């Protein structure tokens, strides 16, 4: 049994522009005793599914500007909170937060919900993990499209100076002020929105995932997840025939234009990206126009 904390529900009262109630799942194989929170809206069958994967240190709240456009298209939207984030349970041991721990969880969730005709929507760790999911045959047959924002496939290559600075900052701040961090990188956030990013973390005990993720990015040979990421590069560059849409927050110093242009080399189906000069790392906070542009791009091809 994994020792974990559960953020009190009252921490999530009055979330701005986020009316969707979570669906709680506590029977994922291999994760018995842990409760996962998932936004699951729209038709449960017969419609495409947008699977929206967040990263560090955010949660499904990050997608609130994109979800309405996806739902208006008639699709199903599924936005899980990774363990350690959002309304999902939070293991207290930093060592739990390995690449495979989260990747197996997402694969189990897709199987549990029997998601079909998936548009994979990824950013940050949502991409580091999510872009490797099609390596598994059971996921590959469910995948139709990709929306990718400020992320990468980490294969052990030397990291950028921007990432090294972020990793050092996170290590020096084990009780990271998440809302303040989001606010600095996203100046248009209100106080209530910044508070929503703080909501999952009543105190430092809840932040094991926040601390662990920067250390787990695969920047050195032999790290967990590199093998899957290398196979994923081959899949996206050679085997994937579906539609791709890329949006780049150009003000991101960590996973900005150079990183995204490198990733684009492995996405031959990707047209010219949507470039947002004022957008930082958390591109979804500019997400309304991104979602609309992605839907328009898919419809035109």
Which residues are catalytic, by number? 124, 252, 281
- Tokens, residue 27: 């029977």
Burial (Cβ within 10 Å: 0-12, 13-18, ≥19) of residue 277 = exposed
Helices marked H in 174-236 — which ranges? 178-185, 191-198, 208-216, 226-234
Q: Three-state DSSP class for 267? A: coil
131 contacts 157 by C-beta, under 8 angstroms: no
Tokens 């469910």 found at: 142
**Dist CA 71 CA 207 (whole Å):** 31
Number of CB atoms found within 10 A of residue 161's CB: 10
């Amino acid at each position: 049994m994994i020792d974990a904390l559960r953020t009190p529900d009252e921490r999530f009262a009055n979330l701005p522009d986020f009316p969707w109630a979570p669906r709680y799942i506590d029977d994922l194989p291999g994760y018995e005793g842990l409760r996962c929170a998932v936004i699951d809206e729209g038709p449960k069958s017969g419609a495409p599914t947008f699977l929206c994967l967040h990263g560090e240190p955010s949660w499904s709240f990050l997608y609130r500007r994109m979800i309405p456009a996806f739902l208006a298209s008639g699709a199903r939207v599924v936005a899980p909170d990774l363990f350690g984030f959002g309304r999902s349970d939070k293991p207290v041991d930093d060592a739990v937060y390995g690449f495979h721990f989260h990747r197996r969880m997402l694969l189990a969730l897709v199987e549990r919900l029997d998601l079909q005709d998936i548009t994979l929507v990824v950013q940050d760790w949502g991409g580091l993990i999510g872009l490797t999911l099609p390596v598994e045959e059971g996921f590959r047959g469910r995948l139709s499209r990709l929306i990718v924002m400020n992320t990468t496939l980490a294969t052990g290559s030397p990291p950028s100076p921007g990432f090294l600075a972020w990793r050092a900052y996170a290590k020096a701040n084990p009780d990271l002020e998440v809302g303040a961090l989001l606010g600095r990188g996203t100046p248009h956030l209100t106080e209530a929105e910044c508070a929503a990013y703080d909501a999952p973390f009543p105190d430092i005990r809840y932040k094991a995932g926040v601390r662990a993720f920067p250390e787990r990015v695969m920047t050195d040979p032999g790290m967990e997840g590199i093998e899957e990421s290398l196979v994923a590069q081959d899949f996206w560059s050679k085997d994937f025939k579906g539609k791709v849409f890329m949006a780049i927050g150009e003000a991101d110093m960590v996973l900005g234009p150079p990183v995204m242009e490198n990733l684009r080399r492995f996405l031959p189906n990707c047209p010219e990206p949507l470039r947002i000069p004022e957008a930082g790392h958390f591109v979804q906070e500019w997400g309304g126009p991104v979602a609309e542009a992605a839907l328009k791009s898919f419809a035109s091809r």
